[in-house]
Amino acid sequence: MGILLLPFGLLLPFRWVDPWFTGVQAQRRVESWFAKGNYQKRYAPVALARISAHLRHAVVAAEDGRFYQHWGIDWAEIEKVAGGEEEGRQQRRGASTITQQLVKNLFFTTHRNPVRKVAEFGLAPAAELVLGKERILELYLNSVEWGPGVFGAEAAARYHYGVGAAGLSREQAARLAACLPSPRRRRPAAMHQYSAIILDRMGMMGW
């Protein structure tokens, strides 16, 4: 019984408290010890209401179009990927949901391994029950990586555009969303084609 309750115990504090650091942030700090140059972490969690609705919509459209329909695992998307129904290379995101990505960011690293994937499948439905959709989205937008040492919407908006997360335009939001899931290689200014696709998706979703 204790093992079954463990996922809920791990996630419960995040209903109210923003993490001081995440698994991915810890990974980047350790990596910086062995890299050239100075590492500066930018991380400033804000309430969901202080993040532009354009960015919320753009990220859902880009990363998890069925976010509000599934319970942490998007089985329909898994079937599409398994059946080879994929988009172009730049637009491919795989079947990982925003909820699964949040779990990875909070507790694990970016390194791929089967143990992490199994843990994600266990923790993602628990996160849906414990946190709910709005808190999951808030935590994800505040923790996702958006450049070297840049974590979360507020830090990303200030780093890339010199504005707060609340002031992001629709175009800027789409370009930031287009950087996921390769934010350390992609830059918003170069995301012309993919950001246009995301804007189209947003329009089709009523945004």
Q: What is the pTM of this model?
A: 0.92
pLDDT surpassing 50 at residue 2: no
- Burial of 158 from C-beta contacts in 10 A (0-12 / 13-18 / 19+): middle
Condensed to tens digits (0 to 9), the pLDDT of residues 67-79 reads: 999 999 999 888 8
Q: What long-range pairs does 156-163 form, CB within 8 A, spacing at least 24?
A: 157/52, 157/55, 158/42, 159/42, 160/187, 160/188, 161/188
* Exposure class string for 180-205: b at 16+ Cβ within 10 A, else e: beebeebebeebeebbebbbebbeee
CA distance 117 to 99: 12
Kindly state the tokens that stand for 122: 């266990």
pLDDT surpassing 80 at residue 91: no
Does 113 or 61 have the greater pLDDT score?
61
pLDDT surpassing 70 at residue 90: no
Q: What CATH number belongs to 45-204?
A: 1.10.3810.10
DSSP H helices in 67-144: 75-82, 98-107, 114-131, 133-143
Query: What pLDDT shows up at residue 160?
Result: 97
Instruction: Calculate mean pLDDT across residues 100-112.
Output: 94
Q: H or E stretch including 151?
A: strand 150-151
